[in-house]
Copies of this chain bind each other. A is one copy, B any other.
């Protein structure tokens, strides 16, 4: 199916799908999860062949995917997410006060662009699709070219679970842009590169009727290590950091690509040894591996940056170090290198706030600090709050819970819309708008407002 046809059908399907009850939508979402599980072995095998991701990881990603679908099923079954509000009439007021009732309603058919690094959980049947279907929006997915067979299997699991037209999948970059331009499409979800995200933002902004775009485009997830924590457990932090930098060959959007710390000799020795000892593994695609190698070579060649470790392989882990002055003077040091690489910025206490202020928007920031550290660094924490969607204390940014309180988003350029989350139940809020009924007869009102 092409973009024009898929969008038109989705637009038509919206006319009935938007009226489905929370119970019915929950049924659809659970059916998708069951279908994915029923065909789980084949799906995981296809993803393993297409992405080089190991089987255990893919099995757990499938569990995450079905878990997300069921979380949204529970959310819409409960139904309170629609934020129903009722202001009753007062005919005696002058002028008379009307009856006003409002709630969140689905925005229309939406486009979803699957990610390369989560072929299941952030792809065809991933969080964007689950949250949009839960909101009452038909979905047209543009499949990621790196895992088309996996995508087709996931698409079949969805298509057989929902009414005709409510779901479709298309392929190809040009078809993807055409999809964003279709009048029936009312919002877009995207996970990928900044370049890809910006192309979609441009297409959406140039429509006769611009539409919202939720693009998650990358993040270097800075980790700040404060002096007390460094003294108390520098080596432990180095161990955890190496694991977080290298897990999944560094191919997570929450991968920590920047470390800021004021004193670090024991820490850096430990980290250097551990990064150097990392076993290399294949990356998702040759293109991602090429980009990673180029990024690492760029860092290695940057004036003022020292290479502390570089595992001798295309996708091998890498560790760099520099000082605050170099970091503040070279914006390219904030560019994401997608893969198992990180750079440690050695930073005098007097430069800490300056480095924090210069950071671009991020999905996460992490702070390691003792209680005394944290109290002494309130201003730093305040600045970091304005830079990210999630602030991690004494942990590591990789590993994103799917829950009510999670926020997976952040200010530009981490995402195109820092007000939103693409993970957890807050994600449903991206696909809705508030509508108000004034003096509406009960028979016409949506159930939730009666």
Residues of A within 8 A of B (CB): 15, 18-19, 85-87, 95, 97-98, 100-102, 105, 107-108, 201, 205, 209-212, 360-361, 371, 374-375, 378-379, 381-382, 385-386, 388-395, 399, 401, 403-407, 409, 411-413, 416-421, 426, 432-441, 443-444
Contact = CB atoms under 8 A, between A and B. Distances in A.
Contact of A390 (B379, B404, B411, B438): B438
Q: Which of A212, A386, A399 has the most CB atoms of chain B within a 10 A radius of its CB? A: A386
Given A105-B385, A399-B95, A392 B438 contact: yes
B361 A209 contact: yes
Contacts of A406: 87, 100, 102, 436
Contact of A391 (B87, B386, B433, B436): B436
Contacts of A101: 405
B436 A87 contact: no
Given A15-B382, A100-B406, A385-B435, 15 more contacts: A15-B379, A19-B382, A87-B406, A102-B406, A209-B361, A212-B417, A381-B444, A389-B436, A393-B439, A394-B439, A405-B436, A407-B434, A411-B433, A419-B433, A420-B434
B438 A395 contact: yes
Q: How many copies of this chain are found per oligomer?
A: 2
Most chain B CB atoms below 10 A, which of A209, A379, A381, A420: A209
Contacts of A19: 382
A97 B177 CA distance: 39
A217 B404 CA distance: 35
Nearest to A187: B419
7 nearest A-B residue pairs (beta carbon): A407-B436, A85-B405, A100-B405, A209-B412, A390-B436, A87-B405, A392-B438
Nearest to A198: B210
A432 B419 contact: yes
Contacts of A434: 389, 407, 409, 419-421, 426
A371 B440 CA distance: 10
A385 B18 CA distance: 11
Which of A85, A97, A417, A433 counts the most chain B CB atoms within 10 A?
A433
A108 to B, nearest CB: 7
Contact of A87 (B385, B404, B439): B404
Contacts of A381: 444
B391 A438 contact: yes
A440 B405 contact: no
A435 B86 CA distance: 28
A444 B393 contact: yes
A392 B391 CA distance: 44
A392 B439 contact: yes
Nearest to A436: B407
Contacts of A432: 419
Contacts of A418: 107, 433
A224 to B, nearest CB: 13
A371 B443 contact: yes
Contacts of A102: 405-407, 426
A441 B391 CA distance: 12
B375 A443 contact: yes
